[in-house]
A and B are shown apart, each in its own frame.
Chain A
Amino acid sequence: MSEYTRTLLPIRWPDGPPKRTYDVVIIGGGGHGLSTAYHLATRHGISNVAVIEADYIASGNTGRNTTIIRANYGIPESIRFYQHSLERYQELEEETGAAILHQARGIVWLAHTEMAMRTERARCAMNEATGAQTFMRTPAELKALIPQLDLTGGGRYPVLGGSHHVQGATARHDRVAWAYASIASQRGVDIFQHTVVTAIRRDGDGGRVLGVDTTAGRIDAGAVLIAAGGRITQVAAMAGLRLPIRTHPLHAFVTNDYAQGFPVILASTELACYVSQTDRGQMLIGAEFDSQPSFSRQSSYSALRSYSYKITRLLPFLRDMRILRTWAGICDISVDYSPIMSATGIDGVYVTTGWGTWGFKAIPAGGEGMAELIATGRPPALIAPFSLDRFRRDHLLADAGSAGTR
């Protein structure tokens, strides 16, 4: 028995249908829902919690992302939040006892034009000022770091330099979700899989939330957290909530095993693509989301062709690799490319959404913040800027350039 399987704590699945009443009902058993349940149970002593998942846990974007953990954002609010999350990830194996295969390998963001160089220099200055470690690298330094890199960019995208976010890391996404689910369930949280929420009940017209109707029966709840991914617009509409969110598919694929080893996570913001090596040795490649919204999780040939074209300009060795497996996830993109972690104006209803293509890295800090918001009624300072009413106040957190996609 390896450390990998030994540290896998069992989840205590409920042995019957949901109870009649819970203090908190969390809609969505993905990373953010499970992390919120974990923090409610371990930090705030609220364990009378139900997590309602329509499919199996982490079956949505938590299990479909490219597992990159980084904090090299462009605005102070985001850098502080993601840096805290990055540091929580570094301690997560110790905290939960589960081997999540956390590997700090650093992220390099390439720049191919003077304009992009300026953006990366600004990013480095802002990161250092706010507590994230990001440094500029010359082409020679990049070549020493990544021997496979073609500095001419296939003759089309010359590498003028790049920013190196040294604390950037990866971790196994399904194990992160499992670690939070197992500990939350041991503390008394009930996790229901293959249970669909069909309605969110409110007191009269526009009153506080009473609970939810599910395919496993009616549940009364003091608070409801909407943490669904992908179908967030439809779930929020059940509570009468309208969101500034569009849902776009994002594709990714892995190649066969690359035995030589690839040292870092490599990304280019201009090409909007990123590549890393998984712990199985496969090269994992993702890029920008589809321009048109869709709820289809079908991989498209045009996306694979465009991603392959771009990434082989930078890493010519990938031309000799084969695509083994492709998949897609549907991402909730908010208008300003920043997440929404907030109360909603409806008494007892909370929402965590807008996780677009950047949700995985925020799972520890997002759950921690939402749990405190639900337990105390006040958002902690780290998540307060990400409230839903920022659109009304015209205080947007516009940071599309740090999404690594577009």
Chain B
Amino acid sequence: MHHLDCPRCGRRPLEEFTFGGERRAVPDAITDPDERDFDEVWIFQNPDGETNERWFHTFGCRRWLTVRRDTGIDVVLEVH
């Protein structure tokens, strides 16, 4: 993974972007509100495969992007 296709700026080197973390998704199986809060704050899905995450175009348009990426092979699937 060397580049990201920014919808506004086009294909730009990865160094211009800042990783903003995976989009948290607390599983529905966790119902206790305190447990849900704990999970949302501390726990990572950390999936080996497709994941949705946020990237910030720090040295470009300075907007947040949502990126779908395969963490198993570190390849970007979709940017929007």
Contacts and interface: CB of A to CB of B under 8 A. Distances in A.
Q: Do A and B come from one complex?
A: yes
Interface of A: 231, 233-234, 242-247, 249, 291-296, 298, 300-302, 335, 391-392
Contacts of B2: 300-302
Contacts of B44: 233, 243-246, 293
Contacts of A233: 44-48
A296 B70 CA distance: 10
Contacts of B18: 291
A296 B72 contact: yes
A231 B49 CA distance: 12
Contacts of B38: 391-392
A244 B24 CA distance: 12
B12 interface: no
Contacts, number: 60
A247 B46 contact: yes
Contacts of A298: 74
B15 interface: yes
20 contacts: A231-B48, A233-B46, A243-B44, A244-B43, A245-B46, A246-B22, A247-B48, A249-B74, A292-B1, A292-B53, A292-B71, A293-B46, A293-B51, A294-B72, A296-B73, A296-B74, A302-B2, A302-B13, A302-B15, A335-B42
B69 A292 contact: yes
B37 to A, nearest CB: 11
Contacts of A291: 18-19
A242 B45 CA distance: 8
Nearest to B67: A292
Contacts of A234: 48
B61 interface: no
A274 B22 CA distance: 29
Nearest to B2: A302
Contacts of A245: 44, 46
Contact of A293 (B13, B22, B43): B22
Given A242-B39, A242-B43, A295 B15 contact: no
Given A296-B73, A302-B2, 16 more contacts: A233-B45, A233-B46, A242-B39, A243-B43, A243-B46, A244-B42, A244-B44, A245-B46, A247-B48, A292-B1, A293-B44, A293-B46, A294-B71, A296-B71, A301-B2, A391-B42
A242 B44 CA distance: 8
A136 B71 CA distance: 41
Given A233-B44, A243-B43, A335-B42, A293 B14 contact: no
B71 A293 contact: yes
10 interchain residue pairs of minimum CB distance: A291-B19, A294-B74, A233-B46, A296-B74, A244-B42, A292-B19, A242-B43, A295-B48, A391-B42, A294-B71
Nearest to A396: B42
A296 B49 CA distance: 10
Contacts of B22: 246, 293
Contacts of A293: 22, 44, 46, 51, 71
Nearest to A234: B48
A292 B42 contact: no
Interface in B28-80: 38-39, 42-48, 51, 53, 69, 71-74
Nearest to B21: A246
A249 B19 CA distance: 14
Contacts of A301: 2
Contacts of B53: 292
B77 to A, nearest CB: 13
A292 B38 CA distance: 23
Contact of A246 (B1, B46, B72): B46
Nearest to A332: B46
A390 B14 CA distance: 35
Contacts of B1: 292, 294, 300
A392 B51 CA distance: 26
B42 A295 contact: no
Contacts of A296: 71-74
Nearest to A233: B46
The residue among A242, A293, A294, A300 with the most chain B CB atoms within 10 A of its own CB is A293
